[in-house]
Amino acid sequence: MKNQILKVTVAGLLWIGMLPATAQTIPVSSVASVTPTNVILDVYADTDDIPLRGFSFKVNFDPGELTFTSGGRYDGLWFLRGENSVSYAYTDVTQPNPDEVRVVGGRLDGDHPGEGVAGSQLILATLVFKRLNGSDPEMELSFGSPPPFVNFAAANGESLDSAVEFQKVEVQSAPEDSDKDGLPDQYELDTYDDLVTSDGSSDTDGDGDSDLDEWLRGTDPTDPNSKFVIQIVLQPDGSKVVLWTGSFNRVYDLEWSPNLQGFTPIATGVPGLAPLLERLDELNNGDPNGFYRVKTKFPTAGR
């Protein structure tokens, strides 16, 4: 499996081809959502007419200001299709240097190499950083690899690098909360039409979760069927898979404790990129007893 990924990746990204005939530009933009403790960076590409098959970019930042926590994209847009047409999510994130995160991804398919994705605001990756000080983060996007590597490849393998234009990273500060109830103003206006209907402690839809908890977890406070769940699925080999409700623009930590006296992290900074998130607990296979908890971190503006 590992070898297979490497083989197809190299085939996809080492291809050196001619420029496409169309003189289109491909803006690569990004939004850094800043909260008191973290920064969530979403990176997008606009490729309306040219299907994009593979990409490689890097993000540079000040390691005195930010620590890279996690990254990826798990929504099926970027995948690697191997033998028997089985697809694997394919957005590979590495940190070769303290001040640099590199992302390689694409829609790579050994059987049908002509496939690609076209569209506006195609999300390439979501990266999560921990903030180390109070300043607004300075981040910069550029190509992941130097020539002669192709960084952005069209469906037919041609290089799109000359068309790619990296935009300045747009920094979005933490949202306003004028009544200090934990719910951002814009979120309250969008959900309740005013700032007074909910003070956070109310449970508008009566599902047992407070409005504030629903905001933090990213569920709908006006729909009793939208509620955070966590579930453990025992595997035949005794290991456990933990599943929990995911929500876009939320980030989760999964932790375990044998006795509720102190929790050990199993996965930190898991982006809420799917309605149901899952992680295999590789640490506690031998221990049949214990407790799991999921912490939701740093929700940003209600978007």
186 binds Ca ion (CB under 5 A): no
> Is there binding between residue 203 and Ca ion (CB under 5 A)?
yes
CB of 228 to Ca ion, least distance (A): 9
The partner residues of 141 in beta bridges, in order of sequence, read 59
Name which of 157, 158, 183 is nearest 302 in CA terms: 183
Q: Does 245 bind Ca ion (CB under 5 A)?
A: no
CA angle 39, 40, 43 (to 5 degrees): 130
How many C-beta atoms surround the C-beta of residue 120 within 10 A? 10
Three-class secondary structure of residue 25 per DSSP: coil
Question: Is residue 183 within the footprint of Ca ion (CB under 5 A)?
Answer: yes
By C-alpha distance, which of 33, 27, 302 is closest to 171? 33
- CB of 101 vs Ca ion, minimal distance in Å: 33
Decide: is 205 part of the binding site for Ca ion (CB under 5 A). yes
Distance from C-alpha of 153 to C-alpha of 45, rounded to nearest angstrom: 12
**Nearer Cβ to Ca ion (161/203):** 203
Q: Is 209 a residue that touches Ca ion (CB under 5 A)?
A: yes
How far is the C-alpha of 192 from the C-alpha of 204, rounded, in Å? Answer: 10
Q: Which CB, 85 or 225, lies closer to Ca ion? A: 225
> Which of 196, 201, 203, 202 is CA-nearest to residue 179?
196
Considering the complex, state which of residue 18 and residue 196 has its C-beta at the smaller distance from Ca ion. 196
Shortest distance (Å) from residue 224 CB to Ca ion: 6
Establish if 155 lies at the interface with Ca ion (CB under 5 A).
no
Q: What is the size of the binding site for Ca ion (CB under 5 A)?
A: 11
199 near Ca ion (CB under 5 A): no
In whole angstroms, how far apart are CA 235 and each of 238, 240, 285, 288? 5, 6, 10, 12
Binding mask 88-107 for Ca ion (x = CB under 5 A): --------------------
Q: How far apart are the C-alpha atoms of 225 and 158, rounded to whole Å?
A: 47
Least distance to Ca ion from the beta carbon of 58, Å?
37
Comparing CB distances to Ca ion, the nearer of 72 and 218 is 218
Min dist. Cβ of residue 221 to Ca ion (A): 5
299 sits near Ca ion (criterion: CB under 5 A): no
When binding is defined by CB under 5 A, the residue of 100, 177, 199, 253 that contacts Ca ion is 177
- Residue 226 in the binding site for Ca ion (CB under 5 A): yes
Residues 6+ apart with CB under 8 A from 290: 256, 257, 258, 259, 284
Using the minimum distance from each CB to Ca ion, give the nearer residue, 48 or 179.
Answer: 179
CB atoms within 10 A of CB 31: 15
Residues that bind Ca ion (CB under 5 A): 177, 179, 181, 183, 203, 205, 207, 209, 219, 226-227
